[in-house]
Amino acid sequence: MLSIVKRILGQIKNDKRSLGLLLFAPLLVLTLLFFILGDSNYQPQIATYDMNEKFVTELENHATVIEESEMPEAADYLETNGIDALIWKDTDGTHIELLEKNSKSVAALKAIQDTNKALQPAQNELIIDYVYETSDDNQLDSLSFVFLGVISFFFVFILSGMSFVRERFGQTLERMLMTPISRMDVIGGYTLGYGLLAALQSVVIILYAVYVLQLHVEGSVALCTLVMILMAFSAVSVGALVSIFANNELQMVQFIPVIIIPQIFFSGLIPIDTIPFGLGNLCYLTPIYYGCTALEMIMIQGKGFLEIWPWLVGSIVFIGVLFLANVTALKKYRRL
Amino acid sequence: MKIEILEVDKSFKKQKVLEQISLIIDSGRIFCLLGASGSGKTTLLRIMMGSIPTDGGSVTIGSTPVPNRELLSNMGYMPQNEALYEELTTWENLKFFAGLHQMSRKAFEENAEKLLQIVDMTKCKNKLVRDCSGGMKKRVSLAVALIHQPRLLLLDEPTVGVDPVLRRKIWQYLKQLRNEGTTILVTTHVMDEVTQCDDAALLRNGRIIAKDTVEKLIGRTPNGNIEELFFMDNQSETEGSSC
């Protein structure tokens, strides 16, 4: 088993580009996400009609304000002038018309909220409460657990799946099994070898996210790392298992969307209890669910080991089941 | 180690690949399995190693029935394609397979140096396999098959793509191993190779059509060309090759 671990590390040592891709590609993607989802300091454009002077003056501190003297036709007006929001008042109260839901309208709403807050208690106040998040968090912060989980899972899955396909295809697997090594040692060595690389990747990603990108982690960073490492090990096993169904590298690539995309659905991006027909229960079959849920609890809710252990156990059970499945699948190459 | 193959059948998806194969390969001989590509040579090798099950019949090596994991530590297998790790050097490849056989470091280093000399790869031992030529890979692959000093060698087309000078050197080494008691089974479709062997069996369309010592087989042909044996039985026209 140890010789397989050594061999895998030796292989990657001689293949610097793969190692670079494993360690730096996730950082690159994360950084990009950070900038895309981060605060852009966008100045929303808001049109007002018949609002009092005090409100407009305050609003000008938060947005570009265009005062209209006539009530415009809302939908048409917003679309043609590139205005983010129209705000007016009538007997019912204050109306806000937005074109569609996107980050610009969020910015516009925020500007209006801020104005309302500043004018306390003048206008009808909007109260928005978050249980765990402050509204100052940017989107990467609140979804960080999804991206950390999915990105590290994705890269490790490709690495282990591909190398296993190549090993089947190049018949080195057959040759390896023509020695007295047991099937359990083969899978064990494989999982451990790539697992070590994956663990290294997890540590690099989490340290980078927390200390360079300044991602907010409510709970313990060490616990996050542990969850990430467990998730990486399950990614290695999933990769090895999927490679059984792929006859060549192309087919392995074709499996990527089949395996990865459904897992993203269950990673916490969509609240699981809103998924209809009980399909949400499928989450128990996806290793990312266990990892991402645990990460969410640590990073967003600041939970500790005592609260997240069921998800850690879930991850470990998953790794165990996959391990046995892989050992059994090797029977195709040697009966003993 | 003596190999006894008894009435082995094997088919893949209804197509019969091997039919009622019975062979006895004596200990300490070089045995040649001769046949066109697709005649079932590699399948027979795989069955002998226990990597695929038979549909019927049995294989016994020494006195142990196949499959048996301990048996594999006495066997050296060289597959048709190189089956080496491209990202590792020649030396690292040898070391990995020696590790799987749980060889001691000292035994490995001694044997590896000796083998690299025989296959003429000593100078390139720290070269990545990725950067080696086809012939070089073949030689490394042979060295890997021999690294744990097996008593039974299964070589699937070992000298294809190896130049004549080196081929002679390799055959010399194989004969030396035979004299030390190693049983060697070689498959080939190159007729010249047969003359280097002690015994031969001719495989066609999954059946053994002739089997004897090489000398006697050559004696049966009109012009000393062993290839003639494939044309001497009248089946050849009627059957054609299967695919």
Q: What radius of gyration do chain B's Cα atoms show?
A: 18
Q: Which residue has the higher pLDDT, A179 or A142?
A: A179
- Rounded to a whole number of angstroms, the distance from the CA of A331 to the nearest CA of chain B is 9
Chain A residues in contact with B68 (beta carbon < 8 A): 336
Chain B residues in contact with A330 (beta carbon < 8 A): none
Average pLDDT over residues B5-18: 87
Give the pLDDT of residue B152.
Answer: 92
Q: Does A335 touch chain B (CB under 8 A)?
A: yes
Q: Are residues B187 and B41 in contact, defined by beta-carbon separation less than 8 angstroms?
A: yes
Give the pLDDT of residue A122.
Answer: 52
Residue range A277-314, pLDDT digits in tens: 777 777 888 888 888 888 888 888 888 888 889 999 99
Q: Does A93 touch chain B (CB under 8 A)?
A: no
Give the pLDDT of residue A257.
Answer: 87
Q: Does B49 touch chain A (CB under 8 A)?
A: yes
Tally of CB atoms within 10 A around B161 = 15
Nearest-Cα residue of chain A relative to residue B47: A334
Closest partner residue to B92 (CB to CB) among A10, A15, A175 is: A10
- Of A188, A173, A150, A127, the C-alpha closest to A296 is A150
Name the least confident of A70-79, B20-29, B64-73.
A70-79
Cβ of A174 within 8 Å of Cβ of B51? The answer is yes
Q: Which residues pair with B78 in a beta bridge?
A: B155
Q: Which residue has the higher pLDDT, A176 or B234?
A: A176
Does B63 have pLDDT greater than 60?
A: yes
- Residue A316 and residue A230: Cα distance in Å, rounded? 7
Element (H, E) at A84: none
Cβ of A179 within 8 Å of Cβ of B88? The answer is no
Q: Are residues B5 and B31 in contact, defined by beta-carbon separation less than 8 angstroms?
A: no
Nearest-Cα residue of chain A relative to residue B70: A180
Cβ of B99 within 8 Å of Cβ of A3? The answer is yes
Cβ of A180 within 8 Å of Cβ of B77? The answer is no
- Of B92, B82, B98, the C-alpha closest to A15 is B92
Give the three-state DSSP class for A162: helix
- Rounded to a whole number of angstroms, the distance from the CA of B111 to the nearest CA of chain A is 17
Q: How far is C-alpha A1 from the geometric centre of its chain's CA atoms?
A: 33
Does A136 have pLDDT greater than 50?
A: no
Give the pLDDT of residue B179.
Answer: 93
Give the pLDDT of residue B39.
Answer: 82
Q: Which residue has the higher pLDDT, A221 or A272?
A: A221
Structure tokens at B35: 């046949």
Does B192 have pLDDT greater than 70?
A: yes
- Of B117, B184, B153, B179, the C-alpha closest to B109 is B117
Q: Are residues A102 and A83 in contact, defined by beta-carbon separation less than 8 angstroms?
A: no
Cα–Cα distances (Å) from A159 to A7, A23, A56, A239, B224, in that order, read 15, 12, 56, 8, 55
Average pLDDT over residues B32-44: 85
Structure tokens at B192: 């010249």
Average pLDDT over residues A19-48: 82
Structure tokens at B69: 């994991």
Q: Kindly give, in sequence order, each residue whose CB lies less than 8 Å from that of residue B9, ignoring residues fewer than 6 positions away.
A: B16, B18, B19, B20, B21, B54, B55, B56, B57
Average pLDDT over residues A46-57: 79
Give the pLDDT of residue B94.
Answer: 94
Would you say how long chain A is, in residues?
A: 336
Identity of the residue numbered A83: I
Cβ of A7 within 8 Å of Cβ of B79? The answer is no
H helices of B50-125, in order, are 90-100, 105-118
Average pLDDT over residues A52-67: 80
Average pLDDT over residues A194-219: 88
**What confidence tier does B233 reach under pLDDT thresholds 50, 70, 90?**
low
- Residue B3 and residue B146: Cα distance in Å, rounded? 19
- Residue A289 and residue B138: Cα distance in Å, rounded? 47
Average pLDDT over residues B84-107: 92
Is the four-CA dihedral A177, A180, A182, A186 of positive or negative sign? negative
Does A150 have pLDDT greater than 60?
A: yes
The pTM score is 0.80
Residue range A9-26, pLDDT digits in tens: 998 888 888 888 888 888
Cβ of B84 within 8 Å of Cβ of A172? The answer is yes
Q: How far is C-alpha B15 from the geometric centre of its chain's CA atoms?
A: 24
Does A156 have pLDDT greater than 80?
A: yes
Closest partner residue to A180 (CB to CB) among B70, B81, B88 is: B70
Q: Name the CA dihedral angle for A295, A299, A305, A307, rounded to a multiple of 10 degrees.
A: -80
Q: Does A179 touch chain B (CB under 8 A)?
A: yes
Chain B residues in contact with A7 (beta carbon < 8 A): 85, 88, 92, 96, 99
Q: What whole-number percentage of chain A has pLDDT above 90?
A: 17
Residue range B120-154, pLDDT digits in tens: 888 888 999 999 888 888 889 999 999 999 999 99
Does A173 have pLDDT greater than 80?
A: yes
Structure tokens at A285: 């079959």
Give the pLDDT of residue A133.
Answer: 43
Does B113 have pLDDT greater than 50?
A: yes
Average pLDDT over residues B34-42: 83
**What confidence tier does A130 reach under pLDDT thresholds 50, 70, 90?**
very low
- Of A186, A108, A18, the C-alpha closest to B86 is A18
Closest partner residue to A178 (CB to CB) among B75, B82, B102 is: B75
Average pLDDT over residues A107-128: 66
Cβ of A11 within 8 Å of Cβ of B50? The answer is no
Average pLDDT over residues B9-15: 86
Average pLDDT over residues B40-54: 87
Cβ of A171 within 8 Å of Cβ of B83? The answer is yes
Number of helices and strands in chain B (H, E): 9, 10
Distance between the two ends of chain B, CA-based, in angstroms? 34
Chain B residues in contact with A4 (beta carbon < 8 A): 96, 100
**What confidence tier does A121 reach under pLDDT thresholds 50, 70, 90?**
low
Give the pLDDT of residue A188.
Answer: 93
Chain A residues in contact with B82 (beta carbon < 8 A): 170
Chain A residues in contact with B88 (beta carbon < 8 A): 7, 10-11, 14
Distance between the two ends of chain A, CA-based, in angstroms? 17
Would you say how long chain B is, in residues?
A: 243
Give strand ranges (E) for B124-227. Answer: 152-156, 183-188, 199-204, 207-213
Does B184 have pLDDT greater than 90?
A: yes
Candidates B52, B86, B96: best to mutate against A (most CBs of A within 10 A) is: B96
Peptide bond between residue A262 and the one before it cis (omega within 30 degrees of 0): no
Q: Kindly give, in sequence order, each residue whose CB lies less than 8 Å from that of residue A109, ignoring residues fewer than 6 positions away.
A: A85, A96, A98
Cβ of A6 within 8 Å of Cβ of B69? The answer is no
- Residue A331 and residue B8: Cα distance in Å, rounded? 21
- Rounded to a whole number of angstroms, the distance from the CA of A17 to the nearest CA of chain B is 12
- Residue B156 and residue B177: Cα distance in Å, rounded? 17
**What confidence tier does A141 reach under pLDDT thresholds 50, 70, 90?**
low
Q: CB-based burial of residue A36 (10 Å sphere; 0-12 exposed, 13-18 middle, 19+ buried)?
A: exposed
Q: CB-based burial of residue A101 (10 Å sphere; 0-12 exposed, 13-18 middle, 19+ buried)?
A: exposed
What is the ipTM for the molecules in this complex?
Answer: 0.85
Scanning B52-111 for CB atoms below 8 A from A yields: 52-53, 67-70, 72-73, 75, 77, 79, 81-89, 92, 95-97, 99-102
Does B93 have pLDDT greater than 90?
A: yes
Does B57 have pLDDT greater than 60?
A: yes
Does B13 have pLDDT greater than 90?
A: no
Q: CB-based burial of residue A238 (10 Å sphere; 0-12 exposed, 13-18 middle, 19+ buried)?
A: buried
Does B169 have pLDDT greater than 70?
A: yes
Q: Does A197 touch chain B (CB under 8 A)?
A: no
Give the three-state DSSP class for A215: coil
- Rounded to a whole number of angstroms, the distance from the CA of B200 to the nearest CA of chain A is 24
